[in-house]
A and B are shown apart, each in its own frame.
Chain A
Amino acid sequence: MYEYVPAVPLLPLVAFVVALVAGRYMPKRGALAGVLAAAGSLVLSVAAVVELAGGQAHAETLFTWAGVPGLELTVGYLVDPLSAAMLVVVSLVAVLVHVFSLGYMNDEGETGLPRYYAGLGLFTFSMLSFVLADSLLVAFVFFELVGLCSYLLVGFHFREEAPSSAAKKAFLVTRFGDYFFLVGLVGVVVTFGTSAFVGDGGSEAFPVLAEAVLAGELSADAVTTFGFAPETWFAVLGLLVLGGVIGKSAQFPLHTWLPDAMEGPTPVSALIHAATMVAAGVYLVARTYGFYALLPEVLAVMAFVGGFTALFAGTVGLVKDDLKQVLAYSTISQYGYMMLALGAGGYVAGFFHLTTHAVFKTLLFLGAGSVTVAMHHEEDMWEMGGLRERMPVTYYTFLAGSLALAGIFPFAGFWSKDEVLFEALVHGLGGNPLLLGAYVMGLLAVPVTAFYTFRMVLLTFHGEPRSATAEDPEPVRWNVKGPLVVLGVLATVAGVVNLVPVHEFVPAVPEVLHDWLFHGPEGLDGEHYEELTRRFAGYTAGTLVAGEAGTVLVSAGVSLALGLAGVVGAYRLYGVARPTEHTDRLGAVETVLYDGYYQDEYQVWLADRTADLAKVANRFDQGVVDGVVDGVSSVGLLSGRRLRRVQTGVVTSYALAIAVGLTVVLVVVGLVGGWLP
Chain B
Amino acid sequence: MAVPTSYYVVLSAAMFCAGLFGILTRSNALTFLMSVELMLNAANVNFVAFSFHHGNLTGQTFALFAMALAAAEVAIGIGIIVTLYRNFGGTDVTIAREMRW
Query: Measuring CB to CB, which residues of chain A are less than 8 angstroms from any residue of chain B?
Result: 644-645, 647-652, 655-656, 659
Interface size range on B against A? 10 to 19
Whether A648 contacts B23 by the Cβ 8 Å rule is no
B1 contacts the other chain (Cβ, under 8 Å)? no
Q: Which of B41-49, B59-67, B93-101 contacts A (4 or more CB under 8 A)?
A: B93-101
Interface residues of B in 46-101 (CB under 8 A from A): 93-94, 96-101
27 contacts between A and B (CB under 8 A): A644-B101, A645-B101, A647-B99, A647-B100, A647-B101, A648-B97, A649-B96, A649-B97, A649-B98, A649-B99, A649-B100, A650-B93, A650-B94, A650-B97, A651-B32, A651-B93, A651-B94, A652-B23, A652-B24, A652-B27, A652-B93, A652-B94, A655-B23, A655-B24, A656-B24, A659-B20, A659-B24
B100 proximity list for chain A (CB < 8 A)? 647-650
Q: Tell me, rounded to whole Å, the shortest Cβ–Cβ distance linking A313 to chain B.
A: 67
Q: Bits for B18-31, please: 1 = Cβ < 8 Å to A, else 0.
A: 00100110010000
User: In whole angstroms, how far apart are the Cα atoms of A650 and B100 in the complex?
Assistant: 8
Q: Please give me the residue from chain A that is nearest to B100 by CB atom.
A: A649
User: In whole angstroms, how far apart are the Cα atoms of A645 and B101 in the complex?
Assistant: 6
Q: Tell me, rounded to whole Å, the shortest Cβ–Cβ distance linking A253 to chain B.
A: 61
Q: Tell me, rounded to whole Å, the shortest Cβ–Cβ distance linking B25 to chain A.
A: 8
Residue among B20, B32, B94, B101 with the highest chain A CB neighbour number at 10 A: B101
Q: Please give me the residue from chain B that is nearest to A640 by CB atom.
A: B101
How many pairs of A and B residues are in contact by the CB < 8 Å rule? 30
Q: Please give me the residue from chain A that is nearest to B99 by CB atom.
A: A649
B27 proximity list for chain A (CB < 8 A)? 652
B98 proximity list for chain A (CB < 8 A)? 649
Q: Tell me, rounded to whole Å, the shortest Cβ–Cβ distance linking A652 to chain B.
A: 6
Please provide the 3 A-B residue pairs with the shortest distance between their CB atoms, ordered closest to farther: A649-B100, A649-B97, A644-B101
Q: Tell me, rounded to whole Å, the shortest Cβ–Cβ distance linking A670 to chain B.
A: 15
Query: Measuring CB to CB, which residues of chain B are less than 8 angstroms from any residue of chain A?
Result: 20, 23-24, 27, 32, 93-94, 96-101
Q: Please give me the residue from chain B that is nearest to A641 by CB atom.
A: B101
User: In whole angstroms, how far apart are the Cα atoms of A130 and B94 in the complex?
Assistant: 67
Q: Tell me, rounded to whole Å, the shortest Cβ–Cβ distance linking B31 to chain A.
A: 11
A651 proximity list for chain B (CB < 8 A)? 32, 93-94, 96
A649 proximity list for chain B (CB < 8 A)? 96-100
Question: 17 more A-B contacts (CB under 8 A) besides A649-B97, A650-B100, A659-B20?
Answer: A644-B101, A645-B101, A647-B99, A647-B100, A647-B101, A648-B100, A649-B96, A649-B100, A650-B93, A650-B94, A651-B32, A651-B93, A651-B94, A651-B96, A652-B24, A652-B93, A655-B24
Q: Tell me, rounded to whole Å, the shortest Cβ–Cβ distance linking B24 to chain A.
A: 6
A648 proximity list for chain B (CB < 8 A)? 97, 100
Q: Tell me, rounded to whole Å, the shortest Cβ–Cβ distance linking A248 to chain B.
A: 55
Q: Tell me, rounded to whole Å, the shortest Cβ–Cβ distance linking B99 to chain A.
A: 5
A645 proximity list for chain B (CB < 8 A)? 101
Q: Tell me, rounded to whole Å, the shortest Cβ–Cβ distance linking A133 to chain B.
A: 53
A652 proximity list for chain B (CB < 8 A)? 23-24, 27, 93-94
Q: Tell me, rounded to whole Å, the shortest Cβ–Cβ distance linking B33 to chain A.
A: 12
User: In whole angstroms, how far apart are the Cα atoms of A165 and B23 in the complex?
Assistant: 71
User: In whole angstroms, how far apart are the Cα atoms of A659 and B17 in the complex?
Assistant: 11
Q: Please give me the residue from chain A that is nearest to B101 by CB atom.
A: A644
Q: Please give me the residue from chain B that is nearest to A648 by CB atom.
A: B100
Q: Tell me, rounded to whole Å, the shortest Cβ–Cβ distance linking A610 to chain B.
A: 50
Q: Please give me the residue from chain B that is nearest to A660 by CB atom.
A: B24
Q: Tell me, rounded to whole Å, the shortest Cβ–Cβ distance linking A607 to chain B.
A: 51
Q: Tell me, rounded to whole Å, the shortest Cβ–Cβ distance linking B42 to chain A.
A: 14
User: In whole angstroms, how far apart are the Cα atoms of A655 and B33 in the complex?
Assistant: 13
B101 proximity list for chain A (CB < 8 A)? 644-645, 647
A659 proximity list for chain B (CB < 8 A)? 20, 24
User: In whole angstroms, how far apart are the Cα atoms of A649 and B100 in the complex?
Assistant: 4
User: In whole angstroms, how far apart are the Cα atoms of A664 and B27 in the complex?
Assistant: 25
A656 proximity list for chain B (CB < 8 A)? 24
Q: Tell me, rounded to whole Å, the shortest Cβ–Cβ distance linking A648 to chain B.
A: 5
User: In whole angstroms, how far apart are the Cα atoms of A655 and B100 in the complex?
Assistant: 15
User: In whole angstroms, how far apart are the Cα atoms of A647 and B24 in the complex?
Assistant: 17
Q: Tell me, rounded to whole Å, the shortest Cβ–Cβ distance linking B61 to chain A.
A: 26
User: In whole angstroms, how far apart are the Cα atoms of A645 and B98 in the complex?
Assistant: 13
Q: Tell me, rounded to whole Å, the shortest Cβ–Cβ distance linking A540 to chain B.
A: 82
Q: Tell me, rounded to whole Å, the shortest Cβ–Cβ distance linking B20 to chain A.
A: 6
User: In whole angstroms, how far apart are the Cα atoms of A66 and B23 in the complex?
Assistant: 55
User: In whole angstroms, how far apart are the Cα atoms of A630 and B28 in the complex?
Assistant: 47
User: In whole angstroms, how far apart are the Cα atoms of A655 and B101 in the complex?
Assistant: 17
User: In whole angstroms, how far apart are the Cα atoms of A577 and B11 in the complex?
Assistant: 120
B97 proximity list for chain A (CB < 8 A)? 648-650
Q: Tell me, rounded to whole Å, the shortest Cβ–Cβ distance linking A661 to chain B.
A: 13
B93 proximity list for chain A (CB < 8 A)? 650-652
Residue among A644, A647, A652, A659 with the highest chain B CB neighbour number at 10 A: A652
Q: Tell me, rounded to whole Å, the shortest Cβ–Cβ distance linking B7 to chain A.
A: 21
Q: Tell me, rounded to whole Å, the shortest Cβ–Cβ distance linking A463 to chain B.
A: 83
